[in-house]
């Protein structure tokens, strides 16, 4: 399997001053090298700032939190994949549970967004995950495979070029975390689905995205099918984010 990927999702947090301080501390801690691939995904308003801050730091890639399913046109407020490419964006999160919940994004929209990113040469991070009610009803497998199926449908010829993130909704920002065994079970399921659809064995990195932090990262990342982490709150603290990166070694 390729190097692990640790991607920080800043969500709707940050300011010009806070971003600069966080990135400087992160880069100082890395010292010009990293034991894994690293990305930070700020709000779209700060992409230009982060592009500048990371210009001399090839060890940290710039990511985006969303992208339009449309190439361009009369879609006020949307940001296209080509626009993201202009800012040097290398990863784009699509289908995050918060967008599925609050913006009512469908599986089909998520699949199309991943397609737009791939067309622009950007790696999509396709998020899938079940709610607590769905898990308690025994629907985890049904939900995550249905969500991933849409991304597969639109991008079957390029499955090796995507990243998947399993983010159990019940563990996001709640302090709860799937056990390494629970996470591995779902990651193995997703990997089998990808490889049955034509992905090369072990080619797709599947990240865990449910409250991974400095304390639990090592145990989660030790599982064979967990290829990294999509980090929320811990990505806003350089010391914690650096500890997770270290654990990915």
Query: What pLDDT shows up at residue 225?
Result: 97
- Contact between 153 and 114 (Cβ < 8 Å): no
CA distance 141 to 234: 28
**Residue carrying structure tokens 């597969």:** 152
- Pick the catalytic residue from 69, 105, 167, 223: 167
Query: What pLDDT shows up at residue 210?
Result: 87
- Pick the catalytic residue from 96, 115, 130, 223: 96
pLDDT tens column, 137-157: 999 999 999 999 999 999 999
Q: Is 104 one of the catalytic residues?
A: no
CA distance 86 to 59: 19
Question: Which of 218, 168, 161 has the alpha carbon at shortest distance from 189?
Answer: 168
Query: What pLDDT shows up at residue 178?
Result: 85
Query: What pLDDT shows up at residue 227?
Result: 98
Query: What pLDDT shows up at residue 1?
Result: 55
Q: Is 167 one of the catalytic residues?
A: yes
- What DSSP designation does 173 have? S
Query: What pLDDT shows up at residue 25?
Result: 97
Query: What pLDDT shows up at residue 96?
Result: 97
- What DSSP designation does 200 have? P
CA distance 22 to 177: 25
Q: Which CATH architecture has domain 5-12+34-68+78-247?
A: Alpha-Beta Barrel (3.20)
Q: How far does Cα 115 stand from its chain's mean position? A: 16
Counting as low any pLDDT under 70, the low residues of the chain are 1
φ/ψ of 230, rounded to 5, equals -105, 105
Q: Quick count: other Cβ atoms within 10 Å of Cβ 156? A: 11
CA distance 39 to 245: 10
Q: Give how far Cα 249 sits from Cα of 78, 100, 120, 146, 174, Å.
A: 37, 32, 30, 32, 26
Burial environment of residue 127 by CB neighbours within 10 A (0 to 12, 13 to 18, 19 or more): buried
Question: Which of 202, 222, 209, 213 has the alpha carbon at shortest distance from 244?
Answer: 213
């Amino acid at each position: 399997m390729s190097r692990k990927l640790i991607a920080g999702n800043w969500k709707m947090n940050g300011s010009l001053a806070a971003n600069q301080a966080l990135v400087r501390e992160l880069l100082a801690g890395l010292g010009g090298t990293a034991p894994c691939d690293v990305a930070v995904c700020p709000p779209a308003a700060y992409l230009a700032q982060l592009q500048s801050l990371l210009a001399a730091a090839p060890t940290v890639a710039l990511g985006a939190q969303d992208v339009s399913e449309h190439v361009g046109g009369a879609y006020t407020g949307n940001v296209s994949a080509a626009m993201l490419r202009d800012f040097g964006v290398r990863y784009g999160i699509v289908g995050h549970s918060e967008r599925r919940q609050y913006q009512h994004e469908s599986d089909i929209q998520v699949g199309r967004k991943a397609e737009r990113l791939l067309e622009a040469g950007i790696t999509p991070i396709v998020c899938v995950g079940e709610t607590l009610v769905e898990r308690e009803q025994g629907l985890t497998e049904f939900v995550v495979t249905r969500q991933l199926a849409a991304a597969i449908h639109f991008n079957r010829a390029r499955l090796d070029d995507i990243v998947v993130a399993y983010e159990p909704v019940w563990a996001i920002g709640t302090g709860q975390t799937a056990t390494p065994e629970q996470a591995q079970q779902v990651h193995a399921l997703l990997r089998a689905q990808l490889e049955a659809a034509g992905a090369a064995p072990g080619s797709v990195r599947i990240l865990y995205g449910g409250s991974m932090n400095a304390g639990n990262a090592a145990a989660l990342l030790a599982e064979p099918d967990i290829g990294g982490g999509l980090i929320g709150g811990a990505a806003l603290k350089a010391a914690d984010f650096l500890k997770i990166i270290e654990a990915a070694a």
